[in-house]
Amino acid sequence: MNPDLVYLAQTETTAGFLSQNTDALSRIKNRPSGKPFLISVDSLQTLRSFTRVPKQHKNRVRRAAKITFVYPCALAIRVVKDEEHSQFLRKFKWSYSTSSNPSGQGFDEAFATEKADVILFTCKGFFEDKPSSIYKLGKRKMRKLR
């Protein structure tokens, strides 16, 4: 599997584009290249390679499902708990993730399949669910962003 390709897969919450190549994701979504992407990781051990979790929030991060945390280093990272999505991520350890729709619009399967290099079908098919919650973690406080 090539980490530079763009994969279309069903994530925990929506059909999404996954890749380790931010330029390819930005080009597909027509977004500014400086706008950051969410990082999906396969385990807490992989999370530790990106950032340090503030001591006050370690249990919260470990137990969280479908929640993205923005850490003090300004990275938005989600530890994936969904088994099917996690199986895919184990091959790469981590991946940048974004929804598979044009920026600011709803899910369009035709757009998603046209733009992806590799399409990963599951028995569930592709669907759009409620987006994940996003929390910004400080050293002591936590603030809900979405």
CB 72 within 8 A of CB 110: no
Res 4: pLDDT: 82
| pTM summary value | 0.86
> Among all chains, which residue has been given the structure tokens 């590799």?
118
Q: Which residues of the chain have pLDDT under 70?
A: 103-104, 122-123, 125
The CATH number of 7-144, from 2.40.50.140, 3.90.870.10, 3.40.50.1470, 3.40.50.10490, is 3.90.870.10
Q: What is the pLDDT of residue 11?
A: 83
CA proximity to 135, closest of 50, 22, 49, 57: 57
User: What is the pLDDT at residue 123?
Assistant: 63
